[in-house]
């Protein structure tokens, strides 16, 4: 059948099972929006307040559901406003397809109104990108984009479509989407056997679970492997929920803000098994002094990660799920060992400190949030101290439950991601844990949450400062607080009400439960809770720059 390019795009999105698009219209995408209007019974369009909100919402939708998130923007500034969200998705391996409008093909390269080379700009932060100048190629490009976004190590793909292409007519033939090819194991059987031998012989092994475990859907396989071998488990920030935080083998997070138990265990271990993790600087800190007594085993889908940041002795490349199944089948079943007992002693000796002393403390707020939600809420975060507190004091029992910008560290990410996650999981309670600095960046998306009657909860940990930067200035810059005080007198409760949301202020521990219960009971209105905490509240533990990860500052 003959269709316009815009209609072909919509039909191809339907082919791929797309039910939601986050976007903002403009001149170069008018034809697409006209086709969307006609297809509104099939595809829901969420009109955001700013294009960056669209990219973060698509990202949150993808992380929460495991499906591909889709965002749409016009040319020029509309396209460039997506860039931060695309980079966020790229760093954390999130499948997003970003669709942008472009000036007509006859105007390309002429500094036309709202023309920008968005494919050139996004080349380093996408798995692949396209500029579509021929309507006859559009359908195949859209299909390829979704395949690339999903296959292997997921990531964002951008499709830039010239305006005249959306108006041109071409033949459209429906096509069933190709199944995503299963990732092969790749690693040979003798290497699996070698890994099994090393695991069986190790006396002080530990497992590091990264975000790749959740992406691969290998959570159950990891649990079976850990419980059979009795190996203690830690996670990266991106790996929160990939192994249950309630499991006795769980030691807490690793690295710069990891638990003392975990970081001591790393330094004492003789075998360090990293699964779906990339050994970022926030994990290893001083690379020369990381796991000095251990052999490193690295299981990952992406061969580019093997040996990139640290020497790997036993690389196992391929399908994480299948590799874990094979190893678990062959490895010896172990009893609770002296090593496990030592870990338990450290856990008792060095717990994460949670106190109130009559003051409103982040740890207390998050512990009450955990209890009142039964540990079942999906938590999104902005970036800063509150992000680490959320990782430390809320226990995550399942994958896709903790959504946070890990690699790029994007302030302003959380609210858009919270909106996307709530739309993707309408039956879940979704909470955005925010700092006052991050919340200011994209608080305009409250208008989106109100319009679509989303019962999200925004918990602002308001210390009237850029808390994490201020903490560094205090600890490492002799308390020279340069540009980190933001006590601007903003009334977040009034702001929430101005947008049509519910606003509450909490200053005392005894007010926490009532505020959270009211917020969690909301059915169709966003709730903002302004928790007023002390400006000098700090994240501990913290590993100083250049130190080994077992050299933590605890107080």
- Active-site amino acid positions: 51, 113-114, 163, 468
The Cα–Cα gap between 244 and 396 comes to: 6
**For residues 217 and 234, is the Cβ–Cβ distance under 8 A?**
no
**For residues 509 and 359, is the Cβ–Cβ distance under 8 A?**
yes
The Cα–Cα gap between 93 and 536 comes to: 34
Which sign, positive or negative, has the C-alpha torsion 450, 363, 476, 381? negative
Q: Is 273 left (phi over 0), alpha (psi -120 to 50) or beta?
A: beta
The Cα–Cα gap between 118 and 486 comes to: 34
Phi, psi of 287 (to 5 degrees): -65, -30
Name the strands in the sheet holding 128-132, side by side, starting at the edge strand that comes first in the sequence: 44-47, 20-23, 69-73, 96-102, 157-162, 128-132
Q: Which of 453, 465, 456, 455 has the alpha carbon at shortest distance from 433?
A: 456
The Cα–Cα gap between 1 and 34 comes to: 19
**For residues 446 and 526, is the Cβ–Cβ distance under 8 A?**
yes
Which residue bears the tokens 């949150």? 60
Phi, psi of 123 (to 5 degrees): -55, -40
Q: Is the peptide bond before 541 cis (omega within 30 degrees of 0)?
A: yes
| Helix or strand run (H / E) with residue 234 | strand 233-235
């Amino acid at each position: 059948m003959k269709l316009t390019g815009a209609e072909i795009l919509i039909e191809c999105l339907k082919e791929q099972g797309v039910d939601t698009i986050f976007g903002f219209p403009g001149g170069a995408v008018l034809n697409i929006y006209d086709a969307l209007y006609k297809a509104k019974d099939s595809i829901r369009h969420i009109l955001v307040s700013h294009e960056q909100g669209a990219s973060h919402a698509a990202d949150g939708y993808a992380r929460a559901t495991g499906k591909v998130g889709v965002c749409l923007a016009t040319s020029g500034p509309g396209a460039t406003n997506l860039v931060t969200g695309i980079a966020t998705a790229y760093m954390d391996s999130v499948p997003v397809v970003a669709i942008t409008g472009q000036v007509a093909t006859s105007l390309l390269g002429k500094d036309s109104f709202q023309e920008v080379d968005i494919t050139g700009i996004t080349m380093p932060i996408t798995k692949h990108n396209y500029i579509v100048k021929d309507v006859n190629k559009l359908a195949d490009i859209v299909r390829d984009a979704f395949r690339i976004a999903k296959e292997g190590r997921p990531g964002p793909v951008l499709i830039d479509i010239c305006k005249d292409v959306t108006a041109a007519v071409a033949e459209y033939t429906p096509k069933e989407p190709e199944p995503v090819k299963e990732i092969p194991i790749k690693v040979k059987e003798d290497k699996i056997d070698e890994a099994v031998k090393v695991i069986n012989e190790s006396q002080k092994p530990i497992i590091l679970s990264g975000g790749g475990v959740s992406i691969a859907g290998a959570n159950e396989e990891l649990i079976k492997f850990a419980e059979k071998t009795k190996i203690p488990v830690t996670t990266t920030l991106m790996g929160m929920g990939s192994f249950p935080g309630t499991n006795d083998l769980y030691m807490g997070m690793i690295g710069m803000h990891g638990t003392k138990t975990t970081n001591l265990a790393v330094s004492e271990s003789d075998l360090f098994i990293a699964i779906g993790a990339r050994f970022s600087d926030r994990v290893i800190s001083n690379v020369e002094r990381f796991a000095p007594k251990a052999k490193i085993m690295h299981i990952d889908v992406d061969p580019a990660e093997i040996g990139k940041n640290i020497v790997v002795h036993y690389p196992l490349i391929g399908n994480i799920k299948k590799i874990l199944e094979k190893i678990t089948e062959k490895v010896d079943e172990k009893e609770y060992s002296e090593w496990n007992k030592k870990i338990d002693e450290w856990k008792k000796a060095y717990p994460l400190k949670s106190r109130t002393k009559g003051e409103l403390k982040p740890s207390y707020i998050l512990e009450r949030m955990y209890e009142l939600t039964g540990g079942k809420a999906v938590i999104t975060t902005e970036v800063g101290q509150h992000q680490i507190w959320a990782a430390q004091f809320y226990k995550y029992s399942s994958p896709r439950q903790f959504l946070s910008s890990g690699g790029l560290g994007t302030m302003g990410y959380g609210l858009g991601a919270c909106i996307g996650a709530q739309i993707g999981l309408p039956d879940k309670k979704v909470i955005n844990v925010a700092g006052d600095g991050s919340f200011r960046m994209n608080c305009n998306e409250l208008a989106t949450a109100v319009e679509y009657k989303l019962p999200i909860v925004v918990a602002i940990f308001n210390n009237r400062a850029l808390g994490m930067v201020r903490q560094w200035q205090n600890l490492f810059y002799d308390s020279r607080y340069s540009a980190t005080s933001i006590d601007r007198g903003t009334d977040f409760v009034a702001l929430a009400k101005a947008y049509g949301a519910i606003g509450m202020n909490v200053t005392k521990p005894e007010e926490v439960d009532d505020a959270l219960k009211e917020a969690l009971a909301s059915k169709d209105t966003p709730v903002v809770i302004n928790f007023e905490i002390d400006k000098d509240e700090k994240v501990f533990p913290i590993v100083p720059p250049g130190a080994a990860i077992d050299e933590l500052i605890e107080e």
